[in-house]
């Protein structure tokens, strides 16, 4: 409290300030000023959060700041300004209050004015603050008064009850923010023309009032601003450009003086070392000009400013001085030797010249060379534009985006109490990737506030927006680094998760900074009970809906053969990549992904999508922008009218949603990444039973009656784990805990249960007709016209028990395998025979021999016992499993892959298992194989089924056998059936 009586100037004179709106020049306040005062008063009636007021540059912020002191009945006010020049200007304004008195809104008794103090040196003692106890207003810059500086002390708590920040967009800065933090009981009002920053950092507090620049222009609050474009030769030097600008500036200045205007020149230069020589050019042109820079002392700058105001100078050359907030109405001619690169300072700079409160001043003029400009403000520097409206439209459009973003952020409230370490985390500063996992959920998210874990991560903070049906989670994972076995060193890793649900369409979008399938699975399992499925590509591709002028940089073509030895996944990249898709590709490939650009409503957009239910674009973005993007994508996906422009993608099928699992699902195979990486597996509880994933078998596939799930076994010859696959739930793969354990080990040593790993590396399932499905997308294979069933070889099965494939207890029993073994070993020209019958096999028997045409023939023999005592041509079960095995084994037509398999399978390992040579030796076989060129190897797949009668094959069997032959032939291999007569 101040000493003496009646010293609370603003509080005691509040009733003498009567503000009203008027359109008459010099009477009352402008509409935007009146609105700002009402907004501030209303805000502080119920809220203590800092208030942000946005008024156009030059519109009269000072009058609002002074008026707010009365409406808020302030007792002592701290005014923070960015520069010494503005400090002096603010001191004058508050000491005289002319901005209110001359407009008839403040009626004071004679000689009654506030006591205004100025801090022009650093405050290093509390006593320095207390020395201003009798002041009504204290004006300071952060450089002198910010407690963030090491030798500056903070004002006593409660010393100020109102803090006004001029050019408040600086508030997030290191030396500005402490004024809000160290005076928590004061009311804080931030005044700015641009409540957005180039770095995207949000201003603290709530935007309580924004007055559009276009509205201010319409009420004639600004003078006219003209742009003079100076023509410059294409290859002109820097000096020639400067000379042309100087000459044009001298002409404009002389013109204005001849019209009786007291105008001054403000010449902007980009470098301090260039300002002196540039001033010399203006002097040589007959103008009284000096340069001003931060290298001059405050006293020298003030002396130059005084000479400029008094008319002793015609202009000044400066580098970012006399900029924001500076009020000098005679500055009416601007010469831009170096333009601002961004919109914010451009608008502030222009605002200096658009003021209408000067005596003997006319329209403002900007002089620049447009071809020199490459900046965010480019569009402003073009001849023939109506600058006042153009500037207003540009500024207001950007501000509306900022306002919308603020509304989005306001809709998010903190959920359960966050961890104390994360209490200060603000969602407005978080950036998320433009990457979405898209699902269809059977129910809305529930229990979001109770979510404590997402996979291995602990939820430490949660925000919820009921308005946007969205949840944002911040989670962390604490774990020892892979190079430490102890727990004395812990790494902390943080990730973000955004979940948004659209109840009308049941679409669920998830964006996360950790894109692992098991993490997605954990999230949806808890929020919607796993009752979700990824959006099929046939629907997801509608993210292109409405995009014109499409051009694709990358296209993925997925081979529709269950096993592709040519190109399992072909990527076409480059400009207009879709033009690289051939008309014939549709018979072999379907769409896997696309990434490109298009135009919509005149705006360019980059977007990609994949058959795995993912949509993405470039880079990271703020929470409000990501939510808007999600809304846009949802509208396209769910639109009744679809307009997807024509492109090379039209030549490729894109799969269809899998509603029911096909009953004739006969086999499954690992993903292509599994074959590339071949990760380590630990089977059972024995740490020493380590092997390769490719040595495990996928067997026993059984589709359940409702066709919404299937079961299968994964394992080796000793241990198998039963796993369930459900295409319309997340996770799609799961197993009961009582099943034998099988773990997959990643390269960094982390282990996952095999079903968890399959959610990241999903299997390829295929049917007897060789249609395939991954997840919930089905791809139908287009069979070649007139496909044959392949070669039929009739064997004599006399004495063979055709219903028994093998007998591990009696090697001499005449089973199908024993019968075939004797047949193969009787062949004289075979180099080697490998018995590979065990989990992870390429075939039951592998045979190699040199052919007469310098090629090397590899035969893979798959055996199957007959389904009845006699040969028949009607039992489809006799061929189902063989078809799957045959098509899967075609991958061994690739020489390197075949050699790796032979080496791995014919060498004993700690986990057990060895595929023996029945003829030939390991060293001889490997030496022969390694001497071959890839083109030398020729593969024949042999399906051995004595239960098939060559003479009695019915149409159903022929169709299935023809599909298998067609698929094998498409991979440049041959298929042979060894059957009965």
> What confidence tens digit (pLDDT) does each residue in 719-772 have?
999 999 999 888 899 999 888 999 999 877 788 999 999 988 999 998 888 888
Q: What average pLDDT does this structure show over 136-161?
A: 92
Q: Ranked by mean pLDDT, which of 739-743, 822-826, 879-883 comes out on top? A: 822-826
- C-alpha dihedral (735, 741, 744, 750), degrees to nearest 10: 100
Per-chain mean pLDDT for the chain: 85
Lowest mean pLDDT among 612-621, 670-679, 699-708: 670-679
> What confidence tens digit (pLDDT) does each residue in 94-119 have?
999 998 998 899 998 887 899 999 99
Instruction: Return the pLDDT at 316.
Output: 93
Given a cut of 60, is residue 4 above it in pLDDT? Answer: no
> What confidence tens digit (pLDDT) does each residue in 175-214 have?
788 888 899 999 999 998 776 655 556 678 888 998 887 7
Specify whether 516 is located in the same domain as 587: no
Q: How far apart are CA 247 and CA 257, in angstroms?
A: 16
Three-state helix/strand/coil letters over 344-413: HHHHHHHHHHCCCCCCCCCCEEEEECHHHCCCCCHHHCCCCCCHHHHHHHHHHHHHHHHHHHHHHHHCCE
> What confidence tens digit (pLDDT) does each residue in 229-255 have?
888 877 788 899 999 999 999 999 999
Specify whether 33 is located in the same domain as 154: yes
Residue 966 or 160, more confident: 160
Instruction: Return the pLDDT at 615.
Output: 97
Q: What average pLDDT does this structure show over 834-842?
A: 93
Residue 136 or 224, more confident: 136
Instruction: Return the pLDDT at 786.
Output: 59
- C-alpha dihedral (851, 853, 854, 858), degrees to nearest 10: -40
> What confidence tens digit (pLDDT) does each residue in 310-357 have?
999 999 998 766 654 456 778 889 888 876 555 445 555 665 565 555
Task: State how many domains the chain has.
Answer: 6
Given a cut of 50, is residue 17 above it in pLDDT? Answer: yes
Specify whether 500 is located in the same domain as 589: no
Residue 872 or 910, more confident: 872
Q: How would residue 361 be classed by pLDDT, with cut points 50, 70 and 90? A: confident
> What confidence tens digit (pLDDT) does each residue in 602-636 have?
788 999 999 889 999 998 998 888 999 999 999 99
Q: How far apart are CA 231 and CA 244, in angstroms?
A: 8
Q: What average pLDDT does this structure show over 54-79?
A: 92
Instruction: Return the pLDDT at 289.
Output: 95
Lowest mean pLDDT among 52-66, 390-404, 428-442: 390-404
Instruction: Return the pLDDT at 404.
Output: 65
Lowest mean pLDDT among 66-70, 356-360, 550-554, 623-627: 356-360
Instruction: Return the pLDDT at 657.
Output: 83
Given a cut of 60, is residue 1 above it in pLDDT? Answer: no
Instruction: Return the pLDDT at 325.
Output: 45
Specify whether 857 is located in the same domain as 937: yes
Q: How would residue 377 be classed by pLDDT, with cut points 50, 70 and 90? A: very low
Q: How would residue 155 be classed by pLDDT, with cut points 50, 70 and 90? A: very high
Lowest mean pLDDT among 131-145, 316-330, 539-553, 734-748: 316-330
Specify whether 500 is located in the same domain as 468: yes
Angle ∠(322,323,328) on CA atoms, nearest 5: 60
Q: Is residue 3 part of a domain?
A: no
Specify whether 872 is located in the same domain as 953: yes
Sign of CA pseudo-dihedral 814, 816, 817, 823: positive
Specify whether 329 is located in the same domain as 382: yes
Task: Point out the domain boundary residue: 512, 532, 552.
Answer: 532
Given a cut of 70, is residue 859 above it in pLDDT? Answer: yes
Given a cut of 60, is residue 485 above it in pLDDT? Answer: yes
Q: What average pLDDT does this structure show over 567-591?
A: 80
Q: Is residue 784 part of a domain?
A: no
Q: What average pLDDT does this structure show over 507-515?
A: 94
Residue 418 or 221, more confident: 221
Dihedral pair phi/psi, residue 238, rounded to 5°:
-60, -40
Task: Point out the domain boundary residue: 620, 652, 684.
Answer: 652
Instruction: Return the pLDDT at 755.
Output: 94
Q: What average pLDDT does this structure show over 446-451?
A: 84
Instruction: Return the pLDDT at 298.
Output: 78
Contact between 531 and 445 under an 8 Å Cβ cutoff? The reply is no
Specify whether 610 is located in the same domain as 730: no
Residue 597 or 568, more confident: 597
Specify whether 803 is located in the same domain as 911: yes
Specify whether 860 is located in the same domain as 757: no
Element containing residue 84 per DSSP (H, E): helix 84-96
Q: How would residue 261 be classed by pLDDT, with cut points 50, 70 and 90? A: very high
Specify whether 628 is located in the same domain as 510: no
Given a cut of 70, is residue 419 above it in pLDDT? Answer: no
* Long-range contacts of residues 710-716, Cβ cutoff 8 Å, at least 24 apart: 710/661, 710/665, 710/765, 712/668, 714/742, 714/754, 715/683, 715/740, 715/742, 715/839, 716/683, 716/691, 716/838, 716/839, 716/840, 716/913
Q: Is residue 778 part of a domain?
A: no
CB atoms within 10 A of CB 555: 27
Instruction: Return the pLDDT at 385.
Output: 42
Lowest mean pLDDT among 173-182, 663-672, 838-847, 947-956: 173-182
Cis peptide before 731 (omega within 30 of 0): yes
Based on DSSP, count helices (H) and strands (E) in the chain, helices before strands: 24, 46
Specify whether 166 is located in the same domain as 20: yes
Residue 32 in 3-state DSSP?
Answer: helix
Instruction: Return the pLDDT at 119.
Output: 94
Task: Find how far residue 696's CA is from the centre of its chain.
Answer: 37
Q: Is residue 817 part of a domain?
A: yes
284 CB-side CA count, 13 A: 10
In terms of residue numbers, what domain contains 242?
Answer: 225-388
Q: Ranked by mean pLDDT, which of 266-275, 784-793, 892-901 comes out on top? A: 892-901
Instruction: Return the pLDDT at 801.
Output: 96
Task: Point out the domain boundary residue: 753, 768, 783.
Answer: 768
Given a cut of 90, is residue 449 above it in pLDDT? Answer: no
CATH number of the CATH domain containing 340: 3.40.50.300
């Amino acid at each position: 409290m101040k000493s003496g009586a009646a010293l609370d100037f603003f509080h005691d004179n509040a009733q003498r300030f009567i503000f009203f709106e008027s359109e008459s020049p010099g009477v009352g306040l402008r509409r935007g000023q009146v609105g700002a005062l009402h907004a501030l008063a209303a805000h502080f009636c119920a809220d203590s959060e800092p208030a942000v007021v946005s008024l156009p540059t030059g519109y009269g912020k000072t009058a609002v700041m002074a008026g707010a002191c009365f409406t808020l009945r302030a007792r002592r006010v701290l005014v923070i300004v960015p520069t010494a020049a503005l400090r002096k200007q603010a001191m004058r304004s508050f000491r005289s209050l002319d901005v209110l008195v001359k407009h008839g809104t403040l009626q004071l008794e004679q000689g009654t004015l506030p006591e205004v103090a100025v801090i022009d040196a650093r405050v290093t003692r509390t006593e320095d603050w207390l020395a201003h106890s009798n002041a009504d207003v204290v004006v300071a810059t952060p450089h002198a008064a910010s407690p963030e500086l090491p030798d500056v002390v903070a004002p006593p708590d409660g010393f100020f009850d109102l803090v006004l920040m001029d050019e408040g967009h600086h508030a997030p800065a290191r030396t500005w923010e402490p004024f809000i933090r160290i005076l928590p009981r004061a009311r804080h009002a931030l005044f700015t023309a641009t409540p957005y920053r180039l770095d995207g950092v949000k201003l603290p507090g709530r935007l309580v009032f924004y007055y559009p620049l276009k509205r201010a222009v319409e009420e004639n609050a600004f003078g006219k601003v003209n742009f003079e474009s100076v023509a410059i030769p294409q290859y002109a030097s820097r000096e020639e450009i400067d000379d042309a600008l100087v000459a044009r500036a001298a002409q404009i200045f002389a013109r204005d003086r001849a019209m009786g205007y007291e105008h001054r020149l403000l010449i902007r230069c980009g470098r301090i070392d260039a300002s002196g020589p540039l001033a010399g050019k203006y002097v040589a042109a007959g103008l009284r000009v000096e340069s001003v820079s931060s290298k001059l002392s405050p006293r020298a700058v003030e002396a130059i400013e005084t000479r400029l105001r008094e008319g002793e100078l015609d202009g000044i050359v400066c580098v970012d001085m006399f900029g924001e907030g500076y009020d000098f109405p005679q500055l009416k001619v601007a010469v831009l030797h170096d333009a601002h690169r961004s919109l914010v300072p451009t608008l502030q700079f222009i605002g200096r010249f658009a003021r209408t409160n000067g005596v003997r001043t006319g329209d403002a003029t900007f002089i620049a060379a447009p071809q020199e400009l490459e900046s965010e403000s480019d569009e402003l520097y073009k001849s023939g534009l109506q600058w006042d409206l153009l500037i207003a439209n540009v500024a207001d459009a950007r501000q509306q985006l900022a306002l919308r973003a603020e509304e989005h952020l306001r809709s998010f409230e903190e959920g359960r109490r966050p961890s104390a370490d994360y209490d200060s985390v603000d969602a407005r500063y978080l950036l998320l990737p433009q990457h979405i996992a898209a699902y269809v959920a059977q129910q809305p998210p529930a229990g979001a506030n109770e979510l404590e874990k997402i996979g291995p991560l602990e939820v430490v903070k949660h925000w919820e927006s009921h308005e946007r049906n969205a949840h944002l989670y911040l989670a962390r994972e604490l774990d020892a680094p892979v190079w430490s076995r102890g727990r004395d060193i812990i790494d902390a890793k943080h990730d973000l998760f955004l979940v948004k649900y659209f109840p009308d369409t049941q679409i669920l979008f998830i964006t996360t900074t950790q894109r692992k399938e098991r993490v997605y699975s954990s999230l949806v399992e808890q929020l919607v009970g796993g009752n979700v499925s990824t959006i099929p590509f046939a629907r997801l591709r509608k993210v292109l809906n409405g995009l014109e002028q499409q051009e694709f940089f990358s296209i993925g073509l997925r081979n529709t053969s269950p096993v592709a030895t040519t190109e399992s996944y072909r990527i076409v990249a480059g400009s207009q990549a879709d033009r690289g898709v051939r008309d014939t590709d549709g018979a072999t490939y379907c769409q896997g992904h696309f990434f490109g650009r298009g135009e919509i409503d005149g705006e360019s957009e980059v977007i990609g999508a994949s058959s795995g239910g993912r949509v993405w674009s470039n880079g990271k973005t703020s929470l409000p922008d990501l939510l808007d993007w999600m809304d846009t994508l949802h509208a396209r996906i769910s639109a009744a009218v679809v307009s997807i422009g024509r492109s090379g993608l039209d030549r490729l099928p894109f799969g269809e949603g899998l509603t029911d699992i096909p009953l004739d699902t006969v086999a499954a195979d690992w993903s292509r990444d599994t074959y590339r990486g071949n990760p380590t597996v630990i089977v059972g509880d024995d740490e020493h039973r380590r092997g390769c994933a490719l040595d495990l078998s996928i067997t026993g596939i059984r589709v359940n009656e409702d066709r919404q799930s299937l079961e299968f076994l994964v394992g080796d010859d000793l241990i198998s784990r039963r796993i369930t696959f459900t295409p319309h739930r997340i996770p799609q793969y799961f197993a009961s805990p009582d099943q034998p354990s099988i773990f997959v080990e990643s390269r960094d040593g982390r282990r996952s249960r095999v079903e968890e790993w399959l959610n990241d590396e999903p299997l390829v399932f295929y049917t007897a007709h060789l249609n395939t499905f991954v997840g919930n997308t089905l791809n139908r294979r287009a069979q070649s016209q007139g496909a044959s069933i392949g070669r039929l070889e009739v064997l004599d099965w006399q004495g063979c028990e055709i219903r028994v494939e093998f007998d591990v207890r009696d090697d001499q029993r005449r089973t199908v395998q024993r019968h075939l073994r004797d047949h193969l070993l009787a062949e004289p020209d075979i180099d080697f025979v490998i018995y590979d019958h065990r989990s992870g096999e390429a075939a039951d028997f592998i045979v190699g021999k040199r052919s007469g045409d310098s090629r090397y023939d590899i035969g893979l023999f798959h055996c199957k016992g007959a389904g009845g005592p006699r040969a028949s041509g009607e039992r489809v079960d006799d061929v189902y499993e063989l078809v799957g095995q045959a098509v899967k084994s075609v991958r061994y037509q690739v020489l390197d892959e075949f050699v790796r398999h032979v080496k791995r399978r014919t060498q004993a390992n700690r986990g057990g298992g060895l595929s023996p040579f029945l003829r030939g030796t390991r060293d001889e076989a490997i030496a022969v194989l390694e001497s071959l060129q890839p083109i030398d190897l020729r593969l024949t797949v042999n399906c051995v089924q004595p239960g098939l009668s060559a003479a009695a094959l019915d149409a159903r069997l022929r169709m299935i056998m023809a599909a298998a032959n067609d698929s094998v032939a498409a991979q440049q291999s041959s298929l042979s059936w060894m059957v009965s007569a």
